[in-house]
Structure 1
Amino acid sequence: MTEFGKQLTAIETPIPGLVVYELPVHGDSRGWFKENWQREKMTTLGLPDFGPVQNNISFNDAAGTTRGIHAEPWDKWVSVATGRIFGAWVDLRDGPTFGAVFTTELDPSRAIFVPRGVGNSYQTLEADTAYTYLVNDHWSPNASYSFLNLADETVAIDWPIPLTNAEISAKDLAHPRLADVTPIAPRKILVLGASGQLGSALREEFAGAGHVEFATRADLDLADPAIATARRWRDYGAIVNAAAYTAVDLAETADGRRDAWAANVTGVATLARLATENGLTLVHISSDYVFDGTLDRPYREDDPICPLGVYGQTKAAGDAIVSTVPRHYIVRTSWVIGEGKNFVRTMASLAERGIDPAVVDDQIGRLTFTADIAHGIRHLLDTKAPAGTYNITSSGDAMSWAEVARAVFSFTGNDPTRVTGVSTEDYFGTATGPVAPRPRNSVLDLARITGTGFAPSDGRASLLEYLGTPRD
């Protein structure tokens, strides 16, 4: 008999993400009523906001009707409308809990959230039993499914009605034993901008992770009208947008302005739409250039944006678009150093060639090594940190560009006094092309990202390691 008057309660199970929910059912002489799915209350309690797109009903005439153990590539919310069922769940996801089992009875006052890749099976305990399930994807012949035999000896499910007396389809009887099951792989991660500095660091960070894919513009053109069907997006869990237009000075020209807006805004809008429609996490790289640099303290994530130039304006616009995606991380960085041509390599080359540079000394910030950004992105995804904006730079004292240059000279065994500090105005005073305005203060506050348990590397130590040379 259905129990009335329960409090809405979540009960964890031994299978990660598989959660039983006690449901309030209100009844009287006329029957009963319950809220089968109440987004606000249930997500507050911890149920993932999984975005159901379809509601199915399974009606069963006789007790003992047993549905096979099926693992689908979507999440589902299962609850009983009439009668009682015995449920058996087996983790068929690739990972350390593969083969873990949980069983329980469900009636109208109990429901369960079944995460993607967990095999689920139901045996009716009463005649005329009906149960419903909400799912967050449509069935597709191109999706990946896994199945387990109901009688598998390894998981050894203790069915209340023996399988020899149960009503089972021939197809379900033919499913493989656990040793022959193909595990459900994790949702894929797609990294865009795979050939850039950050893309290279992400390749190293995710080396050996078969569920991470890398794409260049040649592989996936965001301007393609068919982008929505270019891939089966529901098989992905996250898109990391490591692609961007970053030529800050060239962005001040007519052609550069057009290209910057196309890459940093129009392309980002396409990704935001894909992520929202398919329930993906969108990771987007932002910049200190969204600020004007006039504060006398490090910039926090919630400080008002005030970009000075075209590049900063496009990055700010892209940030605003990404912030509308329900699952998003905006990773704000400054002074990025990775593989290829960059400020540190230029200074090291000048030092080696005996050239004494004049370097700007009235802009301050922290270097951000691409390895730190890649570590931070993986940390956010792995820990499922709250959505939002996170500053990620190297840690340690802020420095001017001139001080960074002197550190490079010193760490490569050269005299740091060979570096002369100059103002921004003097440095760019003889420029023959367009010059973008730069924020004078690019220091970003790291309290939010460190509060998630992430520890950025020390900037000076990372610089020494990057140069690959011992200090004198």
Structure 2
Amino acid sequence: MPTDLTIHQTSIPGVLLLNLPVHGDNRGWFKENWQREKMTALGLPDFGPVQNNISYNEAAGTTRGIHAEPWDKFISVATGRIFGAWVDLRAGDTFGTVFTAELGPGQAIFVPKGVGNSYQTLEEKTAYTYLVNAHWTPDAEYTFLNLADETVAIEWPIPLELCELSDKDRAHPRLSQITPMDLESRSTTDPDSPRTLILGANGQLGRELVKQLPNATAWSRSEFDIADLAAYADVDWTRFDTVINAAAYTKVDEAETLQGRRDAWRINVHGVVELARAAIAHDLTLVHVSSDYVFDGEEQEHTTEELFSPLGVYGQTKAAGDAVVMTVPKHYIVRTSWVVGEGPNFIATMRSLAERGISPSVVDDQVGRLTYTSDLAAGIQSLLAESAPYGVHNLTSGGEPRTWFEIAREVFAEAGADPSRVSPVSTQEYGEGKNLAPRPASSILA
């Protein structure tokens, strides 16, 4: 029996063979069948198993497979012995590559999604056990290969004509009839895929994401409310690899009211909690859009490492949502500021005032950068397509920081109106007699 835990790469990329220390005495034996900390330290992917399955086989010669599933597997033998055969059924140069090995209690093997898995029992009463990182579903997309395929030519210890096989396994296609499993189109490297889900599709950013990612799945709030706990049970999350959360409560001033506070916490925090749970449970990449309002604006420029210091209810809920998303292993928090897109926004308001001959007073002591939804959506695509490091990313449009007053005068000028019609006013003066939420003085994101 092995005395040290070791991991070895096989002839199939990503398929790893493990030797497991087995400790025995007159009573029997003991082993650590799955030990996350030790195994990941030696190079096993931290694949996040969610289900444990056991296949008991009464007779020697029982043969099962060859099945390639859309999830990763960690396989071992609880009792007995098997001959295992694995065939790479993924699209690529190694399609059709075979690896075989005998496994007893002292061995285990990690099989990534898309690699065909099969085994033949060499002893009676063999128990074959495997951990998987997705819950089984009858709608999962499998790829199958015939156990007797002449191309891969597996040398089964017990001839297949003498073995117990299911009728389904006997009828599986040959290698030449198989369409390789295309995992590339199922990954975060292709954001414009039906496996990318856009939430909040009717918002300013949501509409732009739908425009730039026409093949992605897009749901508005009426189709999926992120704060509705019951709605999650109706979603087949195995359809997705990536979720872009563009849904949020953004009524900054109304958030200071009793009902607004409740709505802001419901959507920006409780909804994000449920979304994070789904992402963790189903190994999804979660892209979450955040805000400069998580800071008090005392720092001239906000880095991704700055600690939260929100002033108002809206900022508090966005900071709480960020903290929740940080618990998701595969997450992007996209922090942005002063978003302008299709629909009501500051630029549209100023242009309308200019055209109607109205001369507004605009605050001149808040400074930041505009973020056009076209830039924000393109930036999110880049993070995913380039497999950027998970974590917090600041993302705004370019240019020098300006005050709202300076931006308003520029809009007036572009509209053919006299920019001097826009008057400067301090935040304190502008807020007199109004129920306004506190705002950061500096919204500049590094």
Instruction: Give the shorter-chain TM-score range.
Output: 0.7 to 0.9
Determine whether 1:158 maps to 2:160.
no
Q: Which residue is 2:15 aligned to?
A: 19
Whether 2:327 is the aligned partner of 1:324: answer yes
* 1:444 partner letter: L
Residue 249 (structure 1) aligned to one of 238, 250, 253 = 253
1:41 and 1:376, CA in 2 relative to 1: closer, same or farther beyond 3 A? farther
Residue 291 of structure 1: how far off its partner (Å): 0.6
The 2-side partners of 1:242 and 1:62 are apart by 55
Question: Mapping of 1:314-463 within 5 angstroms?
Answer: 314-349=317-352, 358-382=361-385, 384-408=387-411, 412=414, 418=420, 420=422, 422-425=424-427, 428-429=430-431, 433-445=434-446
Indicate conservation of the 8 Å contact 1:72/1:118, yes or no. Answer: yes
Partner of residue 272, structure 2: 268
Q: Please say which of residues 98-107 and 215-224 is displaced more in the overlay.
A: 98-107
Is 1:213 equivalent to 2:217 in the alignment? yes
State the AA in 2 paired with 1:194.
A
Name the structure 2 match of 1:136: 133
Partner of 1:83: 81
The answer as to whether partners of 1:20 and 1:110 remain within 8 angstroms in 2 is no
Indicate which of 201, 205, 209 corresponds to 1:202: 209
What secondary structure sits across from 1:226 in the alignment?
A: helix
Cα RMSD (Å) of the superposition? 3.5
1:52-131 matches, cutoff 5 A: 52-59=50-57, 61-62=59-60, 65-80=62-77, 82-92=80-90, 99-108=95-104, 110-123=107-120, 131=128
Instruction: Letter of the 1:263 partner, please give it.
Output: I
Contact 1:289–1:438 under 8 Å retained in 2: yes
- Distance (whole Å) between structure 1 residues aligned to residue 248 and residue 416 of structure 2: 35
Q: TM-score, with normalisation over the residues of structure 2?
A: 0.81
Which amino acid in the other structure matches residue 157 of structure 1? V
Partners in 2 of 1:312 and 1:144 — Cα distance? 42
Q: Write the deviation string for residues 346-404 of structure 1: whole angstroms up to 9, x where unpaired.
A: 44455566766543332122222223333343444445555432222234432222333
Q: What per-residue deviation string (whole Å, max 9, x for no partner) do you get for residues 128-178 of structure 1? A: 76543112344333444332333456xx21312386556233211112345
TM-score scaled by length of structure 1: 0.77
Distance 1:89 1:67 in 2: 13
Long gaps (5+) in structure 2: 188-194
CA contact 2:82–2:119 (8 Å) conserved in 1 = no
Any conservation in 1 of the 2:248–2:268 contact (CA below 8 Å)?
yes
Q: Distance in 2 between matches of 1:68 and 1:257?
A: 55
Q: Which residue of 2 aligns with 1:464?
A: none
The secondary structure found in structure 1 opposite 2:437 is coil
SS in 1 for 2:243: strand
Q: What is the CA-CA distance between 1:283 and the residue it aligns to? A: 2.5
**How much does 1:270 deviate?**
2.4
> Which secondary structure state, in structure 1, belongs to the residue aligned with residue 9 of structure 2?
strand
Does structure 2 retain, via aligned residues, the 8 Å contact 1:407–1:416? Answer: no
> Is 1:285 equivalent to 2:289 in the alignment?
yes
Q: How does 1:164-183 map to 2 (within 5 A)?
A: 165=161, 167=163, 168-178=165-175, 179=177, 181=179, 183=181
- What is the rounded CA distance, in whole Å, between the counterparts of 2:347 and 2:102 in structure 1? 62
Q: CA deviation at 1:286?
A: 1.2
The DSSP-based 3-state class of the residue aligned with 1:359 is strand
What per-residue deviation string (whole Å, max 9, x for no partner) do you get for residues 438-463 of structure 1? 10111122xxxxxxxxxxxxxxxxxx
- Partners in 1 of 2:262 and 2:230 — Cα distance? 23
- Which whole-Å CA distance do the structure 1 matches of 2:410 and 2:360 have between them? 13
SS at match of 1:134: strand
Q: Structure 1, unaligned stretches of length 5 or more?
A: 446-472
**Cα shift readout 1:259-295 (whole Å, capped 9, x = no counterpart):** 2222212222222333334443332221111110001
Q: What SS is found at the alignment partner of 2:64?
A: coil
Moved more, 310-319 or 421-430: 421-430
1:313/1:225 CA distance change after superposition, 3 Å:
closer
In the alignment, the residues of structure 1 paired with residue 107 and residue 4 of structure 2 have an alpha-carbon distance, to the nearest angstrom, of: 10
Change beyond 3 A, Cα 1:313–1:224: closer
Q: Secondary structure at the match of 1:67?
A: strand
User: In the alignment, residue 203 of structure 1 is paired with which amino acid?
Assistant: V
Residue identity in the other structure for 2:333:
I
Change (3 A) 1:74 1:235: farther
